[in-house]
Amino acid sequence: MNNVLHDSFGRKIDYLRISITNRCNLRCIYCTTRWAPHQSHDDILRYEEIHRVVQAAAGLGVRKIRLTGGEPLARLNLSRLVELLSRVEGIDEVSLTTNGMLLAKYAEELKAAGLKRVNVSLDSFRPDRFKLITGGDKVEDVLRGIETAKKAGLNPVKINMVVLKGINDDEIVDFARRSVHDGWHVRFIEHMPFVNSAAPEDRLVPIGEVITAIQESLGELKPCWPTSGNGPARYYQLPAAEGTIGFIGPVTECFCAECNRFRLTADGRLRPCLLEDDEVDIKGPLRSGASIEELERLIHEAAALKRAQHRLGEQPAPARRQMRQIGG
């Protein structure tokens, strides 16, 4: 078997995002569709099963793993999984995307277990708005989580803000200012419309408008070097800022041509594209005792299903799954 994973368009695939649970302790309006199928404990992959998929993926050249969900910190003993995956030969980095609600509690033990970096989702500093967007009461828990993660050395801690027209777009400048005053690494993300989402399609604020708002208030954004990291963000800095500002525009600045990733859902499906419903079942074969070679074959099969690009410009993403069931 060819040892390096490529899709049928020649893109090298070396990054796997793993959703470890569909459950979440928040209910963000853009992430949750109006229906929510229940999944039992037995429906989701056990840590040992995820470990085995990662072993197979690492054998095909996957080097980076990101754990997501649902809310990954809502699953018990996440540190045990981090430790297992960090030790897989070939894996250079295990990182985490979280809403930060439980991060202050777990940051140090995650770091000790081998976690390298963390991205924290935060869409508003204002308690009433935080509540409106997420349903949660305690934005201060997220802020405490961010500070604890920094102190624990999970750096760079990146703050992801989904910009929603008429909801939090008047906080764009406040977030950008944090890159100057607090050394934050802030990333602005375009809202991706999903069929049946509780957030309507017209909430989208194009990244170009976000950039204009920041430059009008805070000065010229200079590209930083390297301008892109491992993913789709383009990075800039404001004058005198220690932190950076990243822009991720899946809708108006489609980056599918550089896509290097695929996903594993909590219920054991390989998903080649975030915004398309193609999937390959890996849970069934795992539970029937599939060999590593068989798992590698399934991973190749999933890579071969990767599309050239998503169709968000024409239509909302399909809604067989909610974002929290895919792992954004």
Residues that bind ligand SAM (CB under 6 A): 24, 30-31, 68-69, 71, 97-99, 121, 160, 162, 189, 191-192, 194, 323-324, 328
Work out how close the CB of 30 gets to ligand SAM at its nearest, in angstroms, rounded to a whole number.
4
* Pure H helices in the chain: 47-59, 78-86, 103-113, 127-134, 139-152, 172-181, 207-218, 283-287, 292-304, 323-326
Token pair recorded at residue 174:
């406040």
What secondary structure, in 3-state letters, does 243-279 show? Answer: CCEEEECCCCCCCHHHCCEEEECCCCEEECCCCCCCC
CB nearer ligand SAM, residue 59 or residue 193: 193
Q: Which is nearer to ligand SAM, 61 or 200 (CB)?
A: 200
Question: Between 65 and 290, whose beta carbon lies closer to ligand SAM?
Answer: 65
Tokens of 194: 């999903």
Cβ pair 14, 62 in contact under 8 A: yes
Tell me the three state secondary structure of residue 313. Answer: coil
Name the minimum Å distance from CB 200 to ligand SAM. Answer: 11
Q: Which residue is nearest to ligand SAM (CB)?
A: 328
- Between residues 158 and 306, which has the closer beta carbon with respect to ligand SAM? 158
Closest separation in Å from C-beta 92 to ligand SAM: 21
Number of other residues whose CB lies within 10 A of the CB of residue 47 = 18
Between 121 and 265, name the residue whose CB sits nearer to ligand SAM.
121
In 3D space, the residue among 201, 204, 328, 195 whose CA is nearest the CA of residue 273 turns out to be: 328
Q: Least distance (Å) from ligand SAM to the CB of residue 293?
A: 32
